[in-house]
Amino acid sequence: MYSKKKFYGVICFVLIIFMVNNASGDQIILVADEWCPYNCNPQSKDKGYMVDLATQILGESGHTVKYMAINWSRSIIKSREGEYNGIIGASKAEAPDFIFPNEHLGIANNHFWVKKGDPWRFKGIKSLKNRWLGVIQHYDYGKELGDYIKKNEGKFAVQIRAGDDALDILIRKLAHGRINTLNEDKNVFMYKIKMLKQTNMFEDAGHDLTPVEANYIYVAFSPFFLKKSTKYAKILNEGLIKYRKNGKLQKILSTYGLTDWK
C-alpha cells in the first residue's frame, strides 16, 4: 500500500521540478508598433495572433513573454542594441541581421488605398506619378517601391510618418485629402478602419506586386543575444509546426477572423 509519506515525497519532488523548470525560464520582451491583427494593444484581451503564438509556444518551454507597443523604428534599433529580445511582424529585409525562425508567421499582403470614388489604380511604379503617397518609416515596401520612396523622400510625392500612431495619422491624412494614396497590409488596414468606423470611406486600389516571398513576416530575435535568440527561434519554429498539425494555430487565428496563410 502506498504510504502517505511516499505520496508527499512524490508531490514535493514534482513541485521542486516544476519550480526548477520555471526558474530556468527567461522573460522575453518582444516589441513592435501596433499592427493588428498581428500584434494589437498590449492592454487588450486579444493582443494579436503573433503575440498569442509566441506567448503560448515559448511558455511551453518555461519562458514568459512580455509584449510592448513602441514605434517601429525604435523597436528595431533598441532590439538590435539588446534592450529588447525581439520584434514582431518583421520581414527579413527590415532586420537582416536578426535571428529568424525557419517558418514564417504570416504573409503581409500590401495594397494601395484611396478614398472612395477615386478611380486611380496601381499599375506599376510609373502610375504613382502625380500621387501623394503615405508610408511608415522603416517599413519594408519591397525593392521597387522602396527605391521609389527613397528617391522621393522629402518631396510632397512621398510623406513618411513615424511614431506609435503613424497609421492613424496617415488614414486621417487620406480622409482629408492631404495624401491621396496609402500603402498598407490589407489585414491591418481593414482591421484599423473597422476600429475607426470608417469602413465605407476607402477603396482598395490594388496589390503592390511585390513577390510573395518578400512579404513573409516573422517574430525575429535580437542579434545581441545570439545564443539565446537562436534557441528562441528554434522553439518558436518547432512550436508553430506542431500547432499547425494539432489545430492550435487555426484556433488562435479564428479569434481574429483569419485562416492559415499556408
Could you read off the pLDDT tens digit of each residue along the chain, which spans 262 residues? 445 454 455 444 444 444 444 446 899 999 999 999 999 999 999 999 999 999 999 999 999 999 999 999 999 999 999 999 999 999 999 999 999 999 999 999 999 999 999 999 999 999 999 999 999 998 989 889 999 999 998 898 999 998 878 999 999 999 999 999 999 999 999 999 998 999 899 999 999 988 888 889 999 999 999 999 999 999 999 999 999 999 999 999 999 989 999 8
DSSP state, residue 39? B
Per-residue HEC secondary structure of 204-228 comes to: EEEECCCCHHHHEEEEEECHHHHHH
Helices (H), the chain: 4-23, 49-59, 72-80, 143-152, 166-175, 186-195, 226-246, 248-254
* Architecture of domain 108-211 in this structure: 3-Layer(aba) Sandwich (3.40)
Ramachandran assignment for 48, one of left (phi > 0), alpha (psi -120 to 50 degrees), beta (any other): left
| Topology adopted by domain 4-106+214-254 | D-Maltodextrin-Binding Protein; domain 2 (3.40.190)
pLDDT the model gives residue 164: 78
Same topology, domains 4-106+214-254 and 108-211? Answer is yes
Strands 64-69 and 27-32 turn out to be parallel
Per-residue HEC secondary structure of 246-257 comes to: HCHHHHHHHCCC
Task: List Cβ neighbours of 215 (8 Å cut-off, separation of 6 or more).
Answer: 91, 107, 108, 109, 110, 142
pLDDT the model gives residue 152: 95
pLDDT the model gives residue 3: 52
Domain ranges within the chain, ordered by starting residue: 4-106+214-254, 108-211
Q: Which residue has the cell 500500500?
A: 1
Q: Residue 256 — φ and ψ, nearest 5°?
A: -105, 10
Q: Is 63 within 8 Å of 25 (Cβ atoms)? A: yes
Distance, in Å, from the CA atom of 78 to the CA atom of 94, rounded to the nearest integer, reads 14
pLDDT the model gives residue 140: 87
pLDDT the model gives residue 7: 46
pLDDT the model gives residue 213: 83
Torsion of CA 19, 21, 23, 26, to 10 degrees: -150
Distance, in Å, from the CA atom of 6 to the CA atom of 9, rounded to the nearest integer, reads 5
Distance, in Å, from the CA atom of 101 to the CA atom of 232, rounded to the nearest integer, reads 8
